[in-house]
């Protein structure tokens, strides 16, 4: 049996794992879906004071409170920043068994979520943050969603706290590399803001890369394929 800690990306929440968690349970595993401060059912806590450190603390608190060991820590999209920070700050290597970057940001020391984005994307998001303090949700069509799935995600998404966008993450790579690292590459359609990360994990040693032919929200568009991949990584 393995413990999974599932961390959603921007504009999401624990709700986005709804189609994956039952399969993890049925396979005999435990799953803890974290909702980061300021979004989804925790949107009432939205504040300019929320930073990347806040979200790292959210996940560290779950690992500590549940007394997890050998957990599979999964970070989707923006949460690649979060799980990297968690891995760097965990004092005990036994807390985790594997890091999984699900179509996620894979930062270098000092980089921010914004670092891998095109200048136009950076400018648009920084303008939104300057005007409202948040980044408005993206159109789910960018993630290959349509019909019921598009409507569900559009209805559930909430604005992303702006304080996490340009926050640099200092960390020691050797600490993050204490565990096996996997990258799940969602290729159809491939999200442009993850393009640099796809190249990075294929160029750096030590990465295990798996491809799923679906869009950026595989937990919604291809839950069976994602579940199969996660179960294989837990073996």
Which structure tokens are listed for 80?
């690649």
What is d(CA 126, CA 83) in angstroms, rounded to the nearest whole number?
23
- Measured CA angle at 135 (ends 130, 140), to 5 deg: 155
**Mind giving me the DSSP string for 217-230?**
-HHHH-HHHHHHHH
CB 7 within 8 A of CB 36: yes
Q: Could you tell me the strand order of the sheet in which 207-212 lies?
A: 30-34, 3-7, 71-76, 96-102, 181-186, 207-212
- Please give the positions annotated as active site: 77
- Measured CA angle at 42 (ends 216, 107), to 5 deg: 45
Which structure tokens are listed for 132?
């409202």
Local structure of residue 135 (DSSP, 8 states): E
185-77-173-228 Cα dihedral, nearest 10 degrees: -50
């Amino acid at each position: 049996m393995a413990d999974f800690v599932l961390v959603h990306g921007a504009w999401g929440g624990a709700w986005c794992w709804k189609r994956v968690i039952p399969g993890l349970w049925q396979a005999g595993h435990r799953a803890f879906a974290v909702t980061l401060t300021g979004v989804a059912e925790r949107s009432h806590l939205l504040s300019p004071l929320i930073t990347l450190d806040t979200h790292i603390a959210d996940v560290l608190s779950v690992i500590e409170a549940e007394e997890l060991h050998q957990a599979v820590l999964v970070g989707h999209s923006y949460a690649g920043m979060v799980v990297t920070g968690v891995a760097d700050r965990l004092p005990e290597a036994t807390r985790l068994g594997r890091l999984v970057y699900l179509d996620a940001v894979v930062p270098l020391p000092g980089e921010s979520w914004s670092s891998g984005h095109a200048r136009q994307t950076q400018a648009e998001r920084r303008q939104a943050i300057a005007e409202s303090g948040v980044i408005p949700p993206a159109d789910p069509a960018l993630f290959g969603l349509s019909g019921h799935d598009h409507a569900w995600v559009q209805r559930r998404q909430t604005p992303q706290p702006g304080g996490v966008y340009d926050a640099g993450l200092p960390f020691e790579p050797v600490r993050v590399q204490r565990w096996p690292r996997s990258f799940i590459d969602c290729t159809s359609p491939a999200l442009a803001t993850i393009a640099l990360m796809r190249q990075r994990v294929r160029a750096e040693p030590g990465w295990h890369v798996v491809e799923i032919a679906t869009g950026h929200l595989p937990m919604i568009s291809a839950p069976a394929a994602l579940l199969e991949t996660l179960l294989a990584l837990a073996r």
